[in-house]
Structure 1
Amino acid sequence: MSKRLSDKTLAALPSSVAVPCYDRAAVTPGIVHLGVGAFHRAHQAVYVDDCLAAGEREWGIVGASLQSASTHDALGPQDGLYTLATRGGDRETLRVVGSIGSVLVAPRSPSGLLDVLGDPRTRIVTLTITEKAYLRNAAGGLDTGHAAIVADIDTPENPRTAHGYLVEALARRRAAGIAPFTVLSCDNLPANGATLHRLLGEFAALRDPELAKHVAEISCPSSMVDRIVPATTDADRARISLELGVEDAWPVLTEPFSQWVIEDDFSSGRPGWEAFGVEMVRDVGPFEDMKLRLLNGAHSAIAYLGLLSGHETVAKSFGDPAIRSFVKGQWAEAAPTLPTASGLDPKRYVEALTTRFDNTALAHRTAQIANDGSQKLPQRIVATALDRMNAGAGADHLMMTVAAWMRACELRVSGLAAQHFTDPLDDALVRIAKRNLPAAEAVGAVFDLAGFAGASKWRPALEALAADNLAMLRTDGVAAALSQLDTGGQSA
């Protein structure tokens, strides 16, 4: 297909494809997004596109990749345009999103990204950089010994990390008398705004105490995001391009469901997102807890148990009766840990999750979800288990998920493909797996490595539960282990 999706080819697209109804040339950039991957393009960029269509033309997005040039190389020839394919049941709808005006590749031109961040028109910086890019140490603070952090302190004009770019840009704006931008984290970690604010302050303090005081005054609202976005395949590209009649190098796929909850704390204005379904609240904590513990926690269980059972997608894994029953048991453990006076409706939320997980039209790969377990499980599973123990309740299902992650890590040495999924602690995890330790010793080594449960008094009890489950998985496999869990009188 010789023609590419672009501003010039928009008019020739089929009438069944929704296209931007506004003059993109009249849009000015007001948002810089760090980490312009598939999730951002299926979520935040869509909400901004709605605002642009409603006449709020000062909120165009400049996307920035902090590492890979792949998004830039795909969208550059397309004027930033891409197709959003929403799939539910046997129906797929296509929409071309126009809110991203340009995409920068930070390593190619650090000064170019700093210039955009320093532009007075930039009033919000959003982030989806994944948990590991926050560069935290085992205690949750900034990893001041990380090579990239050290380099950013030594050469602030040539940043490598999000911390480096944000703090240097804030310093330059301060020196030029330009108001600071609001920094809005959209990553899946608890109190993401407060966490990022603290890390930026710690980073700034390494440079200059006065700069740290300035950073302490900026707005960093927390937010909770929720939408399933599977990886785009070559078959998806071919199918969507055929329907468009022009080539789209990188469309994104998603589900009909979308949620965004944001603490309404913006120092220099914001789009009117609430008109398009965004929930603007005073405290996002209860919402993110429900999402982390019910959606993300279930996703981890589905991913690792699914991988161990040979299921490639969420729908196939959740369709396995043993795994489906297990997930319901994990939900039953997790739901009582949520705050009761927050207006949440866990029962209704779980019903919606069941429908979403059953969506066979969305090939959400278990291997994709399985990445970075050592960074995700503390928030999704271990924190929930600790709350259960503090309440005098059990955490058998929760610790089975931890055991399933460990077993999947072990089998990458001898069974699963070594790169089936990856983890920041891979080298050390492989070394532990190769020692063929008894279950209890292996669990202790991994808890030490990943910092699970920290110095909690409940750590020995959680380790014992995980070790029992790991032993069952090693000896009997998934189906038998889950059957023993359900019939052994353990709590649900």
Structure 2
Amino acid sequence: MEKLSSFTTLPQGVSGPGYDRKALTPGIVHIGLGAFHRAHQAVFTHKALEKNFGPWGIVAVNLRSPEPVRALAEQDGLYSVITRSAEGDRAEVIGATVDWLCAAERGEDVLATLASPDIRIVTLTVSEKAYGLDPVTGGLDLKHPALVADIANPHAPVGAVGFLVEGLARRRERGVPPFTVLCCDNLPSNGHVVRRLVLEMATRRDPELARWIADEGKFPCSMVDRIVPAATDDTRGLAAKLLGAEDALAIETEPFLQWVIEDDFVSGRPEWEAAGAVFAQSVEPYENMKLRLLNGSHTLIAHLGILHDLEFVRDVMAVPEFVEIVKRHMRAATATLDPVPGIDLPFYRNQLLDRFANPTIAHRNEQIAMDTSQKLPQRILAAAVEIVSEGGDAAEFAYVVALWIASIHKRGDLNDPRKVDILAAATQASKLDPSAVFFAVEGLFPPELVENRVWRSLVNRELSLLSSYRA
């Protein structure tokens, strides 16, 4: 079977780019060539180009792994997105990517591209941990390996923040305006966070550079939403069946697609609103809604599933008792939210329940549970801090923390940047106060919770009630 390429004749019912790809020129660099980007930002750009063509081709950059870059090169920048639902499967070939680079192999080419005046936007999906955010100070984590390397050798960066700063420095030297930095990762106020980290690193090398970035640069916040499981051989097999061609980068996803963006750009942007994006004066209400309702529930479901040996989110949602637990959590999370413009929160919750239960989406609980220490602060702990500070009952959020601790004990291992500290704590847990060793890990929990005996007692109580947990 042939590989998907620009020479592939697509079967009836499979749509391809509705614009002239040969006329498409670069305007965006995207850092983080993972499944989520391919199912989200690239799709929005693809659809925007179909509505209003312009110089907004994507240069896809992967920081470390060359495999997806090579696969994209072999397929002329094309890949398929398979939308799955109970109504059936639908494939679409996405063509917005015009170039592809692996930074580990071609770092200088990445920097040259970032310095080009043609590039006006840099979007990122590199995961929460890749920014090197210190949870205690809110600034750079000076122990983060990529940050250590980039501070020592700023002209040959290896990390996301290092590439942003060096790219901006080269633009300043050449009299080129800065690019807009658009973070698409699940960090609260993500644009503000990335701006702070970029300015801190820039200040370390040249305060004048930092002032230029602060005065001239833009870092709009955004909220992204689409459930995208990791691709498998089954995914690629389904793509071959639908396309009549091999697609090494095929991904499957749900029909739902959402992007809320602050409209604050240095030098223009694609017409993403024509593809369904929402531009808002403030992203914060949407962001909190998504982090606390979707992402927080996902974390709950993932660890609940792990404790009960259920592989996928849909498996958890097939158990009525567990669905009621998720609903209960959602109601508690909703009580912490401000009104969200244009959103009916009860309807949104029901929509989430349907999305989680989608029988065609095989979203592994272990995938969602990765890096939980980096996800708890914005998904669970921020709401708990608010409730505790007001003297309220944060038991629903204590329950999620207890699930996480119990799942660590069950597995005896985890995929997490703080793995060493967390597993060391697990080996020292006592039956009388099983959460104490976790609260003692520096920076794992905010001080408002560490110092609150009522909250810590709630976590211990929830641990004692978990029938599947044994300290």
- Mapped to 1, the partners of 2:142 and 2:209 lie a distance apart of 17
C-alpha deviation, 1:454, in angstroms: 2.1
Are positions 1:132 and 2:129 aligned together?
Answer: yes
Q: Deviations over 1:84-140 (max 9, x none)?
A: 000011411000000111221001011010011011110000000100011012322
C-alpha deviation, 1:388, in angstroms: 1.9
Instruction: Tell me the residue number matched to 2:81.
Output: 84
- Mapped to 1, the partners of 2:397 and 2:435 lie a distance apart of 18
CA contact 2:435–2:459 (8 Å) conserved in 1: no
When residues 444 and 117 of structure 1 are mapped into structure 2, their CA distance, relative to the original with a 3 A threshold, is same
When residues 274 and 412 of structure 1 are mapped into structure 2, their CA distance, relative to the original with a 3 A threshold, is same
When normalised by structure 2's length, the TM-score is: 0.96
What is the letter of the counterpart of residue 102 of structure 2? V
- Mapped to 2, the partners of 1:319 and 1:235 lie a distance apart of 22
Instruction: Tell me the residue number matched to 1:422.
Output: 415
CA contact 1:453–1:459 (8 Å) conserved in 2: no
C-alpha deviation, 1:434, in angstroms: 2.3
- Mapped to 1, the partners of 2:443 and 2:76 lie a distance apart of 42
- Mapped to 1, the partners of 2:189 and 2:440 lie a distance apart of 23
- Mapped to 1, the partners of 2:432 and 2:239 lie a distance apart of 47
- Mapped to 2, the partners of 1:384 and 1:264 lie a distance apart of 27
Instruction: Tell me the residue number matched to 2:468.
Output: 477
Question: Which ranges of structure 2 fall in alignment gaps of 5 or more residues?
Answer: none
- Mapped to 1, the partners of 2:159 and 2:326 lie a distance apart of 37
- The 5 Å alignment of 1:375-394 reads 375-394=374-393
Equivalenced residue count is 468
Are positions 1:445 and 2:438 aligned together?
Answer: yes
What is the letter of the counterpart of residue 226 of structure 1? D
Instruction: Tell me the residue number matched to 1:46.
Output: 43
Secondary structure of the corresponding residue to residue 438 of structure 1: coil
What is the letter of the counterpart of residue 464 of structure 2? A
Are positions 1:141 and 2:139 aligned together?
Answer: yes
Instruction: Tell me the residue number matched to 1:409.
Output: 408
- Mapped to 2, the partners of 1:428 and 1:403 lie a distance apart of 17
Are positions 1:164 and 2:162 aligned together?
Answer: yes
Instruction: Tell me the residue number matched to 1:114.
Output: 111
- The 5 Å alignment of 1:276-355 reads 276-340=275-339, 342=341, 344-355=343-354
When residues 387 and 442 of structure 1 are mapped into structure 2, their CA distance, relative to the original with a 3 A threshold, is closer
- Mapped to 1, the partners of 2:452 and 2:239 lie a distance apart of 49
Match of 1:460 among 453, 465, 468: 453
What is the letter of the counterpart of residue 193 of structure 1? G
- Mapped to 1, the partners of 2:328 and 2:451 lie a distance apart of 21
CA contact 1:22–1:53 (8 Å) conserved in 2: yes
Instruction: Tell me the residue number matched to 1:483.
Output: none
Taking only the aligned residue pairs, the percentage that are identical comes to 44
What is the letter of the counterpart of residue 453 of structure 2? P
Q: Deviations over 1:35-80 (max 9, x none)?
A: 1100000001001001222242300000000111121122110011
Alpha-carbon RMSD: 1.7
- Mapped to 2, the partners of 1:22 and 1:246 lie a distance apart of 21
What is the letter of the counterpart of residue 183 of structure 1? V
- Mapped to 2, the partners of 1:146 and 1:422 lie a distance apart of 17
CA contact 2:422–2:438 (8 Å) conserved in 1: no
Are positions 1:226 and 2:244 aligned together?
Answer: no
Match of 2:199 among 198, 201, 205: 201
- Mapped to 1, the partners of 2:197 and 2:162 lie a distance apart of 11
Secondary structure of the corresponding residue to residue 266 of structure 2: coil
- Mapped to 1, the partners of 2:53 and 2:130 lie a distance apart of 31
C-alpha deviation, 1:444, in angstroms: 4.0
Instruction: Tell me the residue number matched to 2:10.
Output: 13
Instruction: Tell me the residue number matched to 1:431.
Output: 424
CA contact 1:117–1:169 (8 Å) conserved in 2: yes
- Mapped to 1, the partners of 2:425 and 2:152 lie a distance apart of 35
Match of 1:59 among 37, 56, 59: 56
When normalised by structure 1's length, the TM-score is: 0.92
CA contact 2:449–2:455 (8 Å) conserved in 1: no
Question: Which ranges of structure 1 fall in alignment gaps of 5 or more residues?
Answer: 481-492
C-alpha deviation, 1:462, in angstroms: 1.9
Mean CA deviation greater in 453-462 or 83-92: 453-462
C-alpha deviation, 1:170, in angstroms: 0.6
Secondary structure of the corresponding residue to residue 359 of structure 2: coil
CA contact 1:389–1:458 (8 Å) conserved in 2: no
Secondary structure of the corresponding residue to residue 256 of structure 2: coil
CA contact 1:227–1:258 (8 Å) conserved in 2: yes
Instruction: Tell me the residue number matched to 1:486.
Output: none
C-alpha deviation, 1:450, in angstroms: 4.4
C-alpha deviation, 1:146, in angstroms: 3.0
